[in-house]
Amino acid sequence: MKLLVTGGAGFIGSNFIRYWLEKYSKDKIINLDKLTYAGNLSSTRDYSKNNNYSFVKGDITNHKIVSKVMKGVDVVIHFAAESHVDRSILGPGVFIKTNVIGTQVLLDAALINKVKRFHHISTDEVFGSLKLGSKEKFREDTNYDPRSPYSASKAASDHLVRAYFHTYGLNTTITNCSNNYGPYSSPEKMLPRFITNLIDDKEVPVYGDGKNVRDWLFVNDHCRAIDMILDKGKPGETYLLGGQTKELSNLDVVKMLLEIFGKDESYIKFVKDRPGHDRRYAVNWGKIRRELGWKPQYRFDKWLLETVNWYKENEWWWRPLKRKTEKLYAKTGQK
């Protein structure tokens, strides 16, 4: 089988390629990535010379490049996206171009080349925000209510994917996942930023009051879910993915990190909140459990520690990215 992975030099995409090459060693993978701030070839270093892997630098909004790499492809796994909320607040235009137009270009090429399956990676953020303390969780039939330029652009891309299924009969599936964590996640993101700050013995900047709740999914659990969906998922269906049964606030997560590092709460620095900051995300992943037998295997407490250890042991990867990260946050005034 031949797979096209878009955004395969990013966090989840690079981990997915690693997972797939290890499990399906005879399959061929093309990685199409523009190598923006979110894409780093260093994330693919360990398998870059695999004979069944190839890398193409290119923009998913470029029709010529997309048409070329799509030839002979059986399955598309579409990770490529502008995905950082803070960046979307500073400049929403590029999010619309990449996440909406780029997805449409890929869908057109998939139709023309008779791709057997188009799997689209999306986010739980398209559903908006839940109330703190409520028992409500996002479900596949929850109404969309995006509250940032990023989540609005992802919501639009989801609608396009469904439209190509209903209008053109393209075999599509979608996953809306919660916050992923694990190796090769950019230090721009919350957990890696906190971890790398603590490695450097610096304070941890917590937005607002720190009570915002997120669901954390270990990246390998996400990869397993995509694998199951490609194998047994129903065409046109959407599956929600989450990793936790116990809710944790951002402040809870920070305290867990401080305990791992043996530091006290004086390292917590409350900073100006992000505009439109969603209060709570919670994901009901019952559908994929019932229909495909998937459930998360990686406990957050154990794999948070494993993730911390990975960053301690791989400064060669994140250290060059860290300086750019702090410049970004300085621009937002939330450093």
Q: What is the dihedral of CA 87, 90, 95, 97, to 10 degrees?
A: -140
Point out the catalytic residue in the list 59, 82, 86, 124: 124
What amino acid is encoded at 2 in this protein? K
Angle (nearest 5°) at CA 272 between 276 and 151: 25
Under 8 Å between Cβ of 307 and 199? no
Alpha helices in 47-101 (DSSP H): 63-70, 85-90, 93-96
In this structure, what token pair is assigned to residue 152? 């609005």
**Residue closest to 191 by CA, chosen among 99, 318, 334, 37:** 318
Q: Indicate the DSSP class of residue 266.
A: G
**Residue closest to 122 by CA, chosen among 241, 297, 218, 37:** 241
Residue with structure tokens 């721009």? Answer: 188
In this structure, what token pair is assigned to residue 171? 């075999």
179-181 vs 28-33, strand pairing mode: unpaired
Point out the catalytic residue in the list 59, 82, 86, 125: 125
248-249 vs 213-214, strand pairing mode: antiparallel
Length of the chain: 335
Point out the catalytic residue in the list 150, 164, 181, 281: 150
Active site residue 291: no
Active site residue 86: no
Element (H, E) at 232: helix 219-232
**Residue closest to 82 by CA, chosen among 14, 34, 117:** 34
First-to-last alpha carbon distance for the chain, in angstroms, is 46
Q: Which CA distances in Å does 18 have to 12, 80, 230, 296?
A: 10, 16, 17, 19
Instruction: List beta partners, residue 152.
Output: none
Active site residue 46: no
Q: Which residues are catalytic?
A: 124-125, 150
